[in-house]
Amino acid sequence: MPRNEKLLDAAILTLRAQALGSLGAIEVLLDSAAGIGEHTQFVDEIIKHARILHEAEESSNALSKYLKPPPPAAAPPPQPRDPSPPITEEELMKRSATFRKSPGGKAKAKKDKK
């Protein structure tokens, strides 16, 4: 049964936004005692936002863990080709004019003439 990935992503992002909103509210409460009207509610407000933060994070993680498809597997690295046998100097002399003109090629040519 196909899932609607956009709806799942929207739910996860909404939960993460709620978590960040609660985290921000806790930071405001901790940084500024003037964040709320009465200080008797101060601890209750922190606890309320901590519970919202926890619930939103847990819910978001559960949706991601159980319903998001796993990321696609990486392609396997290319397999090295079987190396061809090394070319001999005689074959190189036949194939390569550049080698024949090189000091090593000239030396090989003189050696072969003898």
Residue 61 domain-assigned?
yes
Count structural domains, the chain: 1
- Please count the other Cβ atoms lying within 10 Å of the Cβ belonging to residue 87: 12
Q: Could you tell me if 44 and 53 are in contact, meaning their C-beta atoms sit under 8 angstroms apart? A: no
Tell me which residue has tokens 């806790």. Answer: 26
List, in sequence order, the alpha helices (H) in the chain: 5-31, 42-67, 89-95, 97-101, 103-113
CA torsion angle 23 24 30 33 (round to 10): -140
Three-state secondary-structure class, residue 35: helix
Residue 87 domain-assigned?
no
Model-wide pTM > 0.75:
no
pLDDT digits (tens, 9 = 90+) for 77-112: 888 877 778 888 888 888 888 888 888 776 666 666
Measured distance CA(7)–CA(2) in Å, rounded: 12
59 lies in which domain range? 5-67
Residue 113 domain-assigned?
no
Q: Could you tell me if 109 and 100 are in contact, meaning their C-beta atoms sit under 8 angstroms apart? A: yes
Residue 38 domain-assigned?
yes
Residue 74 domain-assigned?
no
pLDDT digits (tens, 9 = 90+) for 19-49: 999 999 999 888 876 645 666 678 888 999 9
Measured distance CA(66)–CA(74) in Å, rounded: 21
